[in-house]
Each structure stands twice: as structure tokens, then as C-alpha cells.
Structure 1
Amino acid sequence: MNSILENIFEKSPLFLQESMISFFNYRAYKTRYGGAYKSFLNHYKSNNGLTRSQLQDIQLEKLKIFLDYANTNSSYYKKIFKDANINDISSLNDLRTLPIINKEDLRNNINDVYTISKEKGTLSKTGGTTGKSLEVLYTPNDLQERFALLDNFRNWFGYELGKKTAWFSGKNLLNSRDIKQNRFWKTDKLYNVRYYSTFHIHSKYLKHYLNNLIKYKPEYIVGFPSTIYEIAKFGIANNIDFPSNTIKAIFPTAETITEDIRVILESYFKTNLYNQYASSEGAPFIFECKNKKLHLELQSGVFEVLDNQDEPCTKGRLIVTAFNTHGTPLIRYDIGDEIELLPQEETCSCGNNNPLIKQILGRMSDYIYSEENGKINLGNISNCLKGVKGIVKFQIHQAEINKINVLIEKDPSIYEDKYESIFLKNLIDRVGSKMTISLNYVSEIPVEKSGKYRIVKNTLKSSDLIV
């Protein structure tokens, strides 16, 4: 919405606000689900069950076409490919003759990277958690094909647009009247979606979220897992049972799933969580199947996993080439995330023959670095709460190599000194005894501008690390 419409929305009564949400969704869905969307969806449905060899053949053919497109239509890629013969690329290994680009490269040259004007494309902004957002453009076909890929995945678990859904995303739709009335959601009645705010996840409001979720009875929950996790923890702590046979699946977005988050969400909501990976820039997809195994979607792009010397490895930096980014081509793009591969020969009985990976490690900045113990990942950090009661949430800031600042939001009715000692011991076990740790109790830990909640905010420079 532009500023005028936002002002009108802010001052409108609830029924008009929800009508406006439905109207804007209708316009957006015409772009996403119009044009070639149905053709793409039917295509990917018919491709379910293709052999690994068939998928690899499709991937290589798409790669050749995409490279030729970028070289022809993007002045940036034409320049950086000047010493490479794109027509000679006949295997994925040949990609290594092309340069790797990162977010700063993209941001500094974005107007030369674009192949279309902003008037002809759909603009998408990255979250900008480092303070610098990035604007990418999608062609209509890019957008429709990406939604077809995503919907083909969700269709495996019964989801279709129009089924009752609780959605937790970065939409900031509330006003002061909503807060006063303890109403932390707005409903699109046309498409059967209730949008819950991710900006008001405070202990004093959580009962209203949970009571409304129970009353609304959605079939699916979609969105930021950290938000849904806080609601589930509140329900467990207050012995509020969530009705059985309500939620058919949880589809998390935009954040890394730790084992603790998965266990809590699946046990409390009595359902299964199915993870997926993509990005605002347009990274190719990784989808979790019914067997809880993660598959690279080869039809959406090329995935390279490299070490710090840019050599192939099984656990390292994810470098992507994304086939659905014709407006802003991503070719050998260092997306800032890490994944861990499984051996190529491993297969899954689910019917999806795409390669398997062991885990999505998430942002490379989602770790604490210790000179004593090295990198401590998000999963290990989240486990610091084992044996601890009364910590609503915590966030660790690291700006210096041997020092971390820990913000703690506590429930004073439960939290005791002994739990601080347990938490501190858990943290020292992970970061080592040489780390200086400051604990600071705060009334609330704010989410990012995107509505996401981050456990770790690491601003160390790579030059600070001892590798």
C-alpha cells in the first residue's frame, strides 16, 4: 500500500480494513495465479516421480537457456561473462568457470543486473536484517512458476488456496484500536486466511493469540516459526490443550528450523511440520517430503556447496543459480546461507527422486563464534534452555570476538536464580569458559522490521575469525 492508502486503512473500521485486505490480495493473486500459473502447476505435478537422471537432464537444459538469457539481456552479466564462452557450458562442473557474486555485488550493480523495467516486473525486497535491503524484480512468469513450485509442494499435504489458514508473516496490519481490544489479527474472508501479527508476541498478549487460534480452527498454519513457537510454549506452560485433528500441516517460512522448534510445534499442535527453503531474492527451492527428508528441487536451480576456498564440500556455503529469476538473474550467487549434503547415492521412498540434504543450517551469521570452541550454530544455542523455566525468550548479540551480550525476557512468576545458573552453565558449555558473558534482563525483545525474531545477532567481521 502507498502512504495515502495506509492512512485510509489505519482509520477505517474493521470490516472495511478486512475488505481492503481481500481486495489487495485479489489483485496480487491475479498476478501470482494468473497467466501461466496453471500450466506451470500441471507441468510440475506431471513431473512428480521423475527419475534422478531425468531431473538432472531438465536442470542442465534449463541452466543453458538461463545463462544465454542473462548474457543477452543483462548488461552486468554480459560484462562479467566476457571472458567465458557461455555456449561451451555442457555440464554443471563448467559453472565453476564463472565468477561467484554476493549481495554487495548485486546491490552495487542492481540497475545493470535488471533485465526488465520496474514497470514490467514485480518488486520484491529482501529483509535487510543487516540494515541494507535489496530490491529484485520478477517477471510475471518467474512469479507464477515459483508459486506453482511452492503449491505443488504444499499440495502433497492437501493444501490449496482457499482452505482455512492461519498466517504469521511480516504484514503490519494492526492499529491502536486492535491492541486496545486485544485483537491481533485480520481476516481475508474471500480467501479464508487469517493474518496474525508477528510484531506483538509478548507474554501479556499470547493468551489472546492462542484462544483465537483454537476458536478459528485453521486447517493449516503458515509463517515465521519463531512466532508460532512462542504461542505453543505459552500453551504448554499454561496447560492449554490444543484440539486434536485440527491442523493438517505447518509450513514454516523465512527462518531456520531447530530441532527444539520442530518438537514443540509438532507435539503441541498435534500435526507435522514440513520445511521448505527459498529466499526473497529467488533462491531455488528445497522441500521436505512426507518422510521428513529434505530434497533439493533441481527443476528450480543449481545448488553448489563450497568451502572458504571455493572448493566443493559436503557442509558449507550455499551458492545458487536460480532459474526463476529472469528479472534479476541470480547466477553463482552466494546467498549467505549454509547447508549440509548427504551422499549422492542416498534415496527416499517418498517418490521424490531429487537429491537429499542432511540439514539447512541457515544464515552464516546465525552463530556465536568462540576462540575456544569455534562456531556454535543456532541449534546448539537454542538448546541453552534445557532444564530452564521462566525464560520467555533470549537473544545473543556478538560484536567482539570474546564477548557476548545476552538479552533475556523472563516470566517473573516462574523464573528463579537457579534457572539463571542453569542457563549460564548451558551457555558456557557451548561457548567456552573464556567468553565474557553479560546477562541483561529486558521487558521485551523486539522483532526485526520484517516481523522475524532472531536468536542471534552477530556483527563480527570474517577477518575477526580464526579459521
Structure 2
Amino acid sequence: MGNLQEKIYAKSPHFIQNWIVSLYNVLAYRKRYSGKYKHFINHYLKNRNLSVDQLNVIQANRYSEFVAYAKKHSEYYNKTLGGITASEDITNIAKLPIINKETLRSNYSGIYTIQKNEGIISKTGGTTGKSLEVLYTHDDVQERFALLDNFRGSFGYKLGKKTAWFSGKNLLSEKDINKKRFWKTDHIYNVRYYSTFHIHGKYLAYYLKNLIQYKPLYMVGFPSTMYEIAKYGLAKNIDFPENTIKAIFPTAETITDDIREVLEGYFKTNLYNQYASSEGAPFIFECKNKKLHLELQSGVFEVLDEENNPSEKGRLIVTSFNTHGTPLIRYDIGDQIELGTGTCTCGNNNPLVKEVLGRISDYIYSEEIGKINLGNISNALKGVKGIIKFQIQQDAIERLLVLIEKDETVFDTKYEEVFLKNLRDRVGAKIEIELRYVDAIPVEKSGKFRLIKNNIKDKIQNQ
């Protein structure tokens, strides 16, 4: 929304705000589902069960076309790729330079292939303090939504089916908060948007009660928010009705084993994960067998070690075929994955991914132990009751600050000792740990919650 629309929205009563949300979606969906959308959705439906050889041919052809397009329309890529022999040949991809977020920020005007008024602007959440502004062509957006809809549609989802959505939309007024109303509803498309900015222990009862009353068929969005609601329901012995939620589709955050177990157990359904990014990474989708697959038709995935050699586990470098407005060619997305082996019986012959390990910055560094990743840190709650939420901040190599929201009625010194021991088991005995109890741990501007905030990456890159 623009500034004027935001002012009108802020001053409108609740029921008018709901209709403004609906109108905004009508306009947004027009862009997403017009043009070539039907062509793309039919293409991906038809190509669901291609052999890996067929997928590789499509990937190689699309790579060639995409690199040629970038060289022709982007001043930056014309300059950086123009002197590389056969740069359009996918077998020569390692000859091309790797770019990163800072490259994009520093070269916007040279990288863009279209003017801002010709495309659709996407801004990343900027969890590292700086946001990115990328441009998509209309075809890019339509293809990306076709890919997503094809994935979710394989589990019964369709736009218009009742959905609870947890995203970074900040839609609430002070009146809403005073009335303990933490949602807005698009009545045209049957979507209720729940705020991810007010996930506090004193409000969770209202979220859960409304969710049970609303009876959505699907839940989409930030898993950390759904996780807090589910943990509250479990702690308070509030049963969630069976056969309500058909599937959960998390976005934007890493799924740990604990998050999956809690969400699937409490909401009595299956969670199907997917990976992409605001700036346009190619897709990784989870199938009915709970296995992750690269989507080769959407881009090229390179997994490299610290010396930039191909590896089974390492940092992810992507080339994304639906980023024509801001071409991503050998882009260091800042995430890491581990590739899988074998094939899947689901019918999808795309290569397997063992695990999406998440943001490279989502780790704690201990001189005694080394890097401790997000999954290990999240497991520090085993055997602990009464911690609603915690966040570890690292501003110095020798020290950790742990913010904790606690349930006063459950949490005691016994559980503090267990939690601290769990942390020590993971980070070692030498690093200093400060526990600080707070009323609320804020989410990021994007509405996401970060379990780990590592602010010393520059000091430990070579450790």
C-alpha cells in the first residue's frame, strides 16, 4: 500500500479494513494470475513426472536462454559474462563469477533489465539490517506463483479455500489490540491474516480460540508463529479439533525437527516444506513422502564448499530462471543445504535434498566447539518446561546473551538448570552465557522470528 492508502486504512473501522485487504488482494491476484499464468500452471502439471534426463535437458536449455537474455539486456552481465567463452553452456557454469547480496545492492541500475515502472518490485525482509529491492517481470511473477500453486495444489490447496495465513503483513490498529483481535479477513478469497507481530504469551489464547472457531483448511506462513500457538495449546491442554487442517505450508523460515513435530502433532495434519526466497531463488519442494526435491525446471543449484568446489553439503549458489527483471546468475543466497541420494517413489524424479540447513548466519560460534547450527540450538529445550520463547544473540566470540520469555507458573530453577546444561552441551564449557528474562522478544521488521542473531560473522568467517 502507498502512504495515502495506509492512512485511509489506519483510520477505517475493522469491517472496512477487511474489505480494503480484499480489494488489495484482488488487484495483486490480477497481476499474479493473468498473462501467462495458465500456460505456466499447465506446463508444470504436465511435466510433474518427467525423467531426470528430461529435466536435465530442460534445465540446460533454459540456462542457455537465460544467460543469453541477461547478457543482452543487463549492462552488468554483458560486462561480466561477455568475455567468457560459451558462457551459455551449463557445463561451463563454474567459469562464471559468483555474486552476492552486496553485488546486487551496489549494481542495481546495471543489473536491472527493465525500468521499475515496467515490472513488479519485491523487497526482502532485510533480517541482516539491509533490505534488497529486486524487480520481476510480470512473466516471472506468474511463473513463480504457478510453481507454488502446483506444489500446494498437489495437496488439495486452491485459492479460495479457507486459509489461515501468518505473514509479515502489519495490518492491526491499536483498537484491534485493545479488543484482542489479532487478524484481518479477506472475505472474497477466504483468507484470514493473523499478525506475526503480537505473538506474546498474554495474547496466544486469543489466537488459538479464533483459529479453532475459524476452522481453516490450510495454514500458510511463518512456522515460528504457528509453533508458538501450538506450544501454547499443548501447555494449556487445549485440544485442536481433528480433521480440520488438511496441510501446513511453512514459508521463509527454517524447519527444525522440533517445529515439525510440534506443528504436525498439535494441529493433527502434515506439514509440507518448500524453499525459495524473496529475491527469487529457484524452488525446492517437499513431496507426499516427506522428501525434499530440487525443482530443476526453475533453476540451477550448486552446492559448494569453502573453496568453491562441488560438495554434497555446503553453501547454496543459485541461478534462477524466473528472475528476468533482476537476473540471478550464480547468486550466493546465504543459505546452505545438504543433498540427498537415491530416488523417490512419489513420481517426482528431481534430485533429492537431505536437508535445508538454513541461513549461514543462523549459527553460534564457540572457540571450543566451532559452529553450532540452528537445529542443534533449537533442541536445547529438550526436557525443559515453561520457556515460551528464547533467542540467542552473539555480539562477541567469548559471550552469548540468551533472551527468555518464561511462563511464571511453570518455569523454575530446576528447568533453568536443565536448559543451561543443554546449552552447555552444545556450545561448550568456556563461552560465557548470560540468561536475561524479558516480557517479550521482538520479531524482525519482516514479522519473522529469529532464534539466533549472530552479529559477528565478519570476525569468524575464517575460523
Q: Please confirm whether the aligned pair reaches a TM-score higher than 0.5, indicating the same fold.
A: yes
> Which residue is 2:386 aligned to?
390
Q: How many residues align?
A: 463
Superposed CA deviations along residues 92-145 of structure 1, whole A, max 9, x for unmatched, are 331001000010011100111000001000000011111110100000000000
Determine whether 1:17 maps to 2:52.
Answer: no
> Which residue is 2:434 aligned to?
438
Output the CA distance in 1 between the equivalents of 2:460 and 2:70.
Answer: 36
Compare 45-54 and 453-462 and name the one that shifted more: 453-462
Determine whether 1:369 maps to 2:380.
Answer: no
- Tell whether the 8 Å contact from 1:371 to 1:466 is kept in structure 2 after alignment: no
- Tell whether the 8 Å contact from 2:247 to 2:269 is kept in structure 1 after alignment: yes
> Which residue is 1:82 aligned to?
82
Match of 1:148 among 146, 149, 159: 146
> Which residue is 1:424 aligned to?
420
Match of 2:102 among 89, 101, 104: 104
> Which residue is 2:91 aligned to?
93
Output the CA distance in 2 between the equivalents of 1:15 and 1:290.
Answer: 39
Determine whether 1:45 maps to 2:41.
Answer: no
Compare 70-79 and 455-464 and name the one that shifted more: 455-464
Match of 1:134 among 114, 125, 132: 132
SS at match of 2:43: helix
- The equivalences for 1:222-241 within 5 A come to 222-241=220-239
- Tell whether the 8 Å contact from 1:347 to 1:356 is kept in structure 2 after alignment: yes
Structure 2 residue identity aligned to 1:185: W
- Tell whether the 8 Å contact from 2:260 to 2:271 is kept in structure 1 after alignment: yes
Structure 2 residue identity aligned to 1:292: K
- Tell whether the 8 Å contact from 1:113 to 1:328 is kept in structure 2 after alignment: yes
Output the CA distance in 2 between the equivalents of 1:465 and 1:280.
Answer: 25
Output the CA distance in 1 between the equivalents of 2:426 and 2:87.
Answer: 49
SS at match of 1:124: strand
SS at match of 2:248: strand
- The equivalences for 1:277-356 within 5 A come to 277-343=275-341, 346-356=342-352
- The equivalences for 1:174-189 within 5 A come to 174-189=172-187
TM-score normalised by length of structure 2: 0.99
> Which residue is 1:411 aligned to?
407
Q: Specify every segment of 5 or more residues in structure 1 that has no aligned partner in the other structure, as ranges.
A: none
Structure 1 residue identity aligned to 2:17: Q
- Tell whether the 8 Å contact from 2:65 to 2:88 is kept in structure 1 after alignment: no
SS at match of 1:324: coil
Superposed CA deviations along residues 193-245 of structure 1, whole A, max 9, x for unmatched, are 00000000001100000000000000000000000000000000000000000
SS at match of 1:445: coil
Structure 1 residue identity aligned to 2:362: D
CA distance 1:111–1:466, change in 2 (3 Å) = closer
Output the CA distance in 1 between the equivalents of 2:52 and 2:42.
Answer: 20
Output the CA distance in 2 between the equivalents of 1:27 and 1:106.
Answer: 29
Superposed CA deviations along residues 131-187 of structure 1, whole A, max 9, x for unmatched, are 110100000000000000010000110000000000000000000111111110000
Structure 1 residue 463: deviation in Å? 4.1
Structure 1 residue 462: deviation in Å? 3.9
Output the CA distance in 1 between the equivalents of 2:318 and 2:258.
Answer: 28
Output the CA distance in 2 between the equivalents of 1:52 and 1:327.
Answer: 29
Q: Specify every segment of 5 or more residues in structure 2 that has no aligned partner in the other structure, as ranges.
A: none
Structure 1 residue 89: deviation in Å? 4.0
Structure 1 residue identity aligned to 2:26: Y
CA distance 1:322–1:50, change in 2 (3 Å) = same
- Tell whether the 8 Å contact from 1:185 to 1:195 is kept in structure 2 after alignment: yes
- Tell whether the 8 Å contact from 1:260 to 1:383 is kept in structure 2 after alignment: yes
Structure 1 residue 465: deviation in Å? 4.6
> Which residue is 1:381 aligned to?
377
SS at match of 2:443: coil
> Which residue is 2:119 aligned to?
121
Structure 1 residue 13: deviation in Å? 1.0
Output the CA distance in 1 between the equivalents of 2:458 and 2:358.
Answer: 17
SS at match of 1:213: helix
Structure 1 residue identity aligned to 2:112: Y
Output the CA distance in 1 between the equivalents of 2:88 and 2:204.
Answer: 54
- Tell whether the 8 Å contact from 1:369 to 1:465 is kept in structure 2 after alignment: no
- Tell whether the 8 Å contact from 2:123 to 2:278 is kept in structure 1 after alignment: yes
Output the CA distance in 2 between the equivalents of 1:116 and 1:60.
Answer: 25
Runs of 4+ deviating beyond 6 Å: none
SS at match of 1:303: strand
Output the CA distance in 2 between the equivalents of 1:396 and 1:366.
Answer: 10
Structure 1 residue 366: deviation in Å? 0.4
Structure 1 residue 466: deviation in Å? 5.2
Output the CA distance in 2 between the equivalents of 1:241 and 1:348.
Answer: 35
Structure 1 residue 418: deviation in Å? 0.8
- Tell whether the 8 Å contact from 2:230 to 2:267 is kept in structure 1 after alignment: yes
TM-score normalised by length of structure 1: 0.98
CA RMSD of aligned residues (A): 0.9
- The equivalences for 1:183-222 within 5 A come to 183-222=181-220
> Which residue is 2:397 aligned to?
401
Output the CA distance in 2 between the equivalents of 1:65 and 1:394.
Answer: 47
CA distance 1:22–1:432, change in 2 (3 Å) = same
Superposed CA deviations along residues 272-307 of structure 1, whole A, max 9, x for unmatched, are 000000000000000000000000000000000001
- Tell whether the 8 Å contact from 1:126 to 1:135 is kept in structure 2 after alignment: yes
- The equivalences for 1:151-170 within 5 A come to 151-170=149-168
SS at match of 1:119: helix
- Tell whether the 8 Å contact from 1:367 to 1:456 is kept in structure 2 after alignment: yes
Structure 1 residue 364: deviation in Å? 0.2
- Tell whether the 8 Å contact from 2:87 to 2:93 is kept in structure 1 after alignment: no
- Tell whether the 8 Å contact from 2:301 to 2:319 is kept in structure 1 after alignment: yes
SS at match of 2:54: helix
